[in-house]
Amino acid sequence: MATQFPDTPKVGMVSLGCPKNLVDSERILTKLRSDGYAMSADYAGADVVLVNTCGFLDSAKEESLEAIGEAIAENGRVIVTGCMGKEAEVIRARFPGVLAVTGAHQYEEVVGAVHEAAPMPPNAFLNLVPESGLKLTPRHYSYLKISEGCNHRCAFCIIPALRGDLVSRRPDAVLREAEKLVAAGTRELLVISQDTSAYGIDIRDEPRMWHGREVVPHMTDLARELGGLGAWVRLHYVYPYPHVDRVIPLMAEGLVLPYLDIPFQHASPRVLRAMRRPANDVKVLERIRRWREIAPDLAIRSTFVVGFPGETEEDFQYLMDWLEEARLDRVGAFRFEAVEGAAANALPDPVPEEVKEERYARLMALTARISAEKLQAKIGRTLDVIIDAVDAETGRATGRSKADAPEIDGEVHLRDAGHVAEGDILRAQIEDADEHDLFGTPVIA
Ligand code: SF4
């Protein structure tokens, strides 16, 4: 146990929003720990509370404001950071008592604000940080952020306005972080960014040396190197650019998980054009078919927006037919919601709320049926499962197959598994399935 000085200031953290924000929170906490701060799990014990906000949708903004209000009521000494930092005036108008407001990725500023609000006493211990940094996810999986920002300008999205254009991290820096995480017990690396397939286009002429080899900053080169580290590598937020075809053989080789998280958002070419989506390729169904020929177990997860302005019944039916053919493994859907500052708000022909609801229900019913059928087909197979939680009393464990990312996809529920441990990767015999989850037992070698 590290010695704790009694007067070491303690920082509380409330992290809202997506995994990308969680990674930012981890970075901030890692820096604060390396500066000697302690963490507080509750409001009462904290000298200052950081609220890392999400401002993507109006509903997320409201949630962020509520979290700030709660932190003010419970503790009173609050610093706000994250996407909502762009709206400092809104925050200050509602909560004049906040100590500081900083924006997304302004690590230096937020850390500086903590130092000001809760100064470190001299001579505190400085070496409290594990090699891999501090993590908010369980030890056995870690999010790995490879770039910030986005060069696209999708009509419904304000992320580029909040986070700026794409800035890729150096490949050697990403690999060094990944290697440390694996050494510290990570068994699954979840690669995230706003647009993973665009990784490196801003630094394409800057290859870096890594373990004596030159690594080009490109998604496929980075994925291959990550695959060599011995952990599962899962790719999120991939757009179906032509070069994505080159990552599929890495899946067949077992270097990268046969899993792609591709936010298609729609299928109708007319709606995709109105959305200004990147990689808007009408041949995508054909490509999915070829991908599955190369990597038959490929699981594709996606999200869709229904009720985008101007979406006709014909467009929606096009999407439904497309989904029937694409047979995606996991689908999330949103009803279109106007986000303050988004270009889509100015588009004509809004879809009435009741039509959005009805389309949403139809889409969810279709994709639940496809998911159930795909899971049924897994009954009787033996699959690799990574264990997330074990209940020693009941002998049950919960894990995920290669087709399931944490938090957003399904789970594999195992019985007779009291002997396994969190982070184990084991073979399991699949005995049953429902719409979202699989059920089975560990295979005893
Ligand atoms: S690709 Fe589109 S939706 Fe995704 S972050 Fe960029 S602008 Fe937003």
Ligand 1 centre from 263 Cα, in Å?
9
The pLDDT, as a whole number, for residue 126 is 39
Q: Are 340 and 298 in contact (CB under 8 A)?
A: no
Is residue 4 situated within a structural domain? no
* Domain stop point among 85, 117, 149: 117
Report the 10 Å Cβ neighbour count for 403. Answer: 24
Residue 238 in domain: yes
For residues 225 and 270, membership in a common domain is answered with: yes
107 assigned to a ligand binding site = no
Q: Number of structural domains, the chain?
A: 3
Which CATH number does the domain housing residue 52 bear? 3.40.50.12160
Buried b (16+ CB within 10 A) or exposed e, 138-163: eebbbbbbbbbbbebebbbbbbbebb
Cα of 156 to ligand 1 centre, how many Å? Answer: 8
100: domain range? 10-117
Ligand 1 atom 5: the closest Cα is on which residue?
194
Of ligand 1's listed atoms, the one at least distance from the Cα of 277 is 2
* 322 in the same domain as 405: no
Q: What is the pLDDT along the chain (445 residues), one digit of tens a residue?
A: 333 444 788 999 898 887 777 888 888 887 787 677 888 888 888 999 999 988 777 778 888 899 999 999 999 999 999 888 888 888 888 998 899 998 877 777 888 888 888 887 654 343 344 545 666 778 899 999 999 889 989 998 888 888 889 999 999 999 999 999 999 899 999 999 999 999 999 999 999 999 999 999 999 999 999 999 999 999 999 998 888 999 999 999 999 999 999 999 999 999 999 999 876 666 899 999 999 999 999 999 999 999 999 999 999 999 999 999 999 999 999 999 888 888 888 888 999 999 999 999 999 999 999 999 999 999 999 999 999 999 989 999 999 999 999 988 999 999 999 899 999 999 999 999 998 999 999 997 6
pLDDT computed for residue 56 by the predictor: 73
Question: Is 220 one of the annotated binding-site residues?
Answer: no
Q: Considering the domain boundaries, does residue 174 fall inside one?
A: yes
Residue 419 lies in a domain: yes
Which of 322, 353, 376 is where one domain is finished? 376
- Do β-strands 438-442 and 412-414 pair in parallel, antiparallel, or remain unpaired? parallel
**pTM confidence score:** 0.76
Same domain for 261 and 186? yes
- Please check whether residues 398 and 315 belong to one and the same domain: no
- Separation of CA 297 and ligand 1 centre (Å): 28
Residue 89 pLDDT: 87
In 155-279, the DSSP E strands lie at 167-168, 188-192, 208-210, 213-215, 232-235, 259-261
CATH, residue 341: 3.80.30.20
Q: Which atom of ligand 1 is nearest to the CA of 163?
A: 5
Whether residue 129 lies inside any domain: the answer is no
339 plus 427 within the same structural domain: no
The total of other beta-carbon atoms located within 10 Å of residue 212's CB is 5
Query: Does a structural domain hold residue 223?
Result: yes
For residue 153, report the distance from its CA to the centre of ligand 1, in Å.
6
Q: What is the pLDDT of residue 81?
A: 92
The domain boundary residue, chosen from 376, 405, 424:
376
Q: What is the CATH number of the domain that holds 386?
A: 2.40.50.140
